[in-house]
Amino acid sequence: MEDLDQTFIQAPEHRADSNSIPNQPEEIPVIDLSRLNDPEDIQNVISEIGDACETWGFFQVINHGVPCDARKRVEETVKIFFDLPMEEKIKVKRDEVNPAGYHDGEHTKNVRDWKEVFDIYFKDPMVMPSSTDPEDEGLRVVYNKWPQFPSDFREACQEYAGHAEKLAFRLLELISLSLGLPKERFHDYFKEQMSFFRINRYPPCPRPDLALGVGHHKDADVISLLAQDEVGGLQISRRSDGVWFPIRPVPNALVINIGNCMEVWTNDKYWSAEHRVVVNSTRERYSIPFFLLPSHNVEVKPLEELLSPENPPRYKGYKYGKFYVSRNRSDFKKLEIQNIQIDDFKVVT
Ligand code: OGA
Ligand code: NI
């Protein structure tokens, strides 16, 4: 048995074998978006998406319009980058001022993840608050970091991101319709969107029983669109009982999940599910999540039109940019206490 650095070891209740059903036959829905070309089927697709957001907080889409070649190109070029010696990779390392770039020591809930990542903003430059202090209105402008080699890395990433963002807004419109809201209800929140996408590489791990690729977490965004290869490892916690079960890799599908902002906007109607990544001892795995984030100055709070005397707001509002920079702090180092979570904004009843 190989030793594993202490920083990677999950508490027993969070390990891969805890509370999970590996052969769970039940599955999150796989929705074929080409059905939107049939006017008679559009409403069915919208209600299937709504049901999935409510029951699971997760679904998969196929025929979604993001070309499979664009994803493969990112995977191939980034693999060349990840295989470079560490002294090359750290030339584009992310830091506490600018979260873009390469990183290999991310922490989720104060335990280190078994992965390497590369983060890229959709908008370059991107504007974010310069500090976590709520009184400080200062802003910071940050730029993507691009490696010199491989030379087509930047182009491959930008091409993929363009497609992913387009699909993210299409899905946002469908989600909006599923709530009985106008199609473009959310659009104003994205004028200075902080969206980014990430390339995750999970190397083979000597102790997959003790470490996780990503520890259990909810995504802090609006929605996430995840491309994954055929290896598998993503697990979600079921809304009804918290049991963990795997998301089956479907060729060329994208896994879509609801993030904290959508959960708050819908006052908990739509569910932001906890998820995690289990690693294995033989095969490396790649995934590419695109995280749709609102502008830094958006105050995220339950939408008025979804509230009623029977359904009072369950969250206090919060400024998105401040939440984002506070969350980012814990990615870099082990904090003594759990970092800010969405439940900190719950209204106590
Ligand atoms: C994430 C995430 C899942 C995966 O990066 O937030 O949940 O399968 N990734 O890589
Ligand atoms: Ni996630």
CB-based contacts of 118, cutoff 8 Å, min separation 6:
78, 81, 82, 101, 102, 103, 198, 199
pLDDT at site 96: 80
Number of H helices, E strands in the chain: 6, 18
- Residue ranges per domain, the chain? 30-345
Virtual CA dihedral for 267, 245, 223, 166, nearest 10 degrees?
Answer: -150
Q: Provide the pLDDT for residue 334.
A: 57
Residues in the chain: 349
Q: Based on the number of CB atoms within 10 Å of its own CB, is 45 exposed (0-12), middle (13-18) or buried (19 or more)? A: buried
Residue 214 burial by CB count (10 A; 0-12/13-18/19+): exposed, middle or buried? buried
Which residues, 6 or more positions from 92, have their beta carbon under 8 angstroms from its beta carbon?
A: 101, 102, 145, 146, 147
Query: Does the beta carbon of 274 lie inside 6 Å of ligand 1?
Result: no
Q: Are the CB atoms for 262 and 179 separated by under 8 Å?
A: no
Q: Are 263 and 276 in contact (CB under 8 A)?
A: no
Residues with CB under 5 A from ligand 2 (ion): 219
Which of 28, 106, 109, 224 maximizes ligand 1 atoms within 8 Å of its Cβ, making it the mutation to test the pocket? 224
Angle, CA of 279, 336 and 298, to the nearest 5°: 80
Q: Which helix (H) or strand (E) holds 225?
A: strand 223-228
Report d(CA 77, CA 64) in Å as an integer: 23
Distance of CA 345 to the CA centre of its chain: 20
To the nearest 10°, the Cα dihedral for 172, 248, 77, 121? 30
pLDDT confidence of residue 226: 98
Identify the bridge partners of residue 244 per DSSP, sorted by sequence position: 20, 237
258 neighbors 269 (Cβ within 8 angstroms) = no
Q: Determine whether the shortest distance from the Cβ of 275 to ligand 1 is under 6 A.
A: yes
pLDDT of residue 100: 96
- pTM of the prediction? 0.95
* Ligand 1 pocket, mutate which of 200, 254, 288, 331 (most atoms under 8 A from CB): 200
Other Cβ atoms within 10 Å of 110 Cβ, number? 15
Residue 260 Cβ < 6 Å to ligand 1: no
Q: Which of 1.10.1740.10, 2.60.120.330, 2.70.98.40, 3.10.690.10 is the CATH number of 30-345?
A: 2.60.120.330
Shortest-distance atom of ligand 1 to CA 233: 8
- What does each C-alpha distance from 229 to 79, 105, 128 come to in angstroms? 13, 22, 32
Token pair of 31 as six digits: 């929705």
pLDDT given for residue 345 in this prediction: 85
> How would you write the pLDDT of the chain (349 residues) with one tens digit per residue?
457 899 999 999 999 887 776 666 678 999 999 999 999 999 999 999 999 999 999 999 999 999 999 999 999 999 999 999 999 999 999 988 899 999 987 788 889 999 999 999 999 999 999 999 999 999 999 999 999 999 999 999 999 999 999 999 999 999 999 999 999 999 999 999 999 999 999 999 999 999 999 999 999 999 999 999 999 999 999 999 898 989 999 999 999 999 999 999 999 999 999 999 999 999 999 999 999 999 999 999 999 999 999 999 999 999 999 999 988 876 555 555 667 788 888 887 6
Quick one: which ligand is closest to 218's CA? 2
